[in-house]
Amino acid sequence: MYIAIAGNIGSGKTTLTEILTKRYNAKAYYEALANPYINDFYDDMSRWSFHLQLWFLGSRIEQTLDMLADNSEHVFQDRTIYEDAHIFADNLHKMGLMSSRDFDTYMKIFAIQCDTIPKPDVLIYLKASVPTLISQIRMRGRDYEQNIDEEYLCRLNDKYNNWIDNIYDGRVLVVNKDVDDFVKDPSIIDRICNSLEEMCMRKREL
């Protein structure tokens, strides 16, 4: 069972990955946070956007190769390569913070990799409003995230919703983080797991 967890900044991807990994005694692959460009990016987005996204893409490619070689029965991934391209790089380009030349180069590299990457059995999308995201960002206290613009988060939310509704063609389980707090209410985890297992079973029967 290969499950990927997608969602905006502060939506709870890492927390859910940790919970499900323990639940299934699974292997977890977390988003790399040690991007050497991230502080520079938040200081000057247009100067460092291409560098930031290319580093994340390379890290995700490396992670995916590790996953393909993994023999674990269950694998959970914190954020996907698709989000890097369709959400973050595309948003930076649309905002004028990444040049068309850099964006085209990025997407060519991304397209090459997509041909070799299997889709998750199920993609869990953690859908959250901007107030929920802001609350959780402040709670976890990462210095470089504390001044994130709310409009930026709103644009990312729009990108995520469009990607889920109109672009991504795999199986998706939507969890509404505005009402489903799986940290405070463990029964929500039971519900998520039941849905995952049903969806994976249906895939095997096809």
Q: Tell me which residues are annotated as active site.
A: 78
Q: Which residues contact 204 (CB under 8 A, 6 or more apart)?
A: none
CA distances from 38 to 45, 47, 56, 185, 197 (A): 9, 12, 10, 33, 36
Classify the phi-psi angles of 194: left when phi > 0, otherwise alpha if psi is within -120 to 50, otherwise beta: alpha
Distance (Å, whole) CA 77 – CA 147: 27
Number of H helices, E strands in the chain: 9, 5
Cβ-based burial of 100 (10 A; exposed 0-12, middle 13-18, buried ≥19): exposed
Distance (Å, whole) CA 6 – CA 133: 14
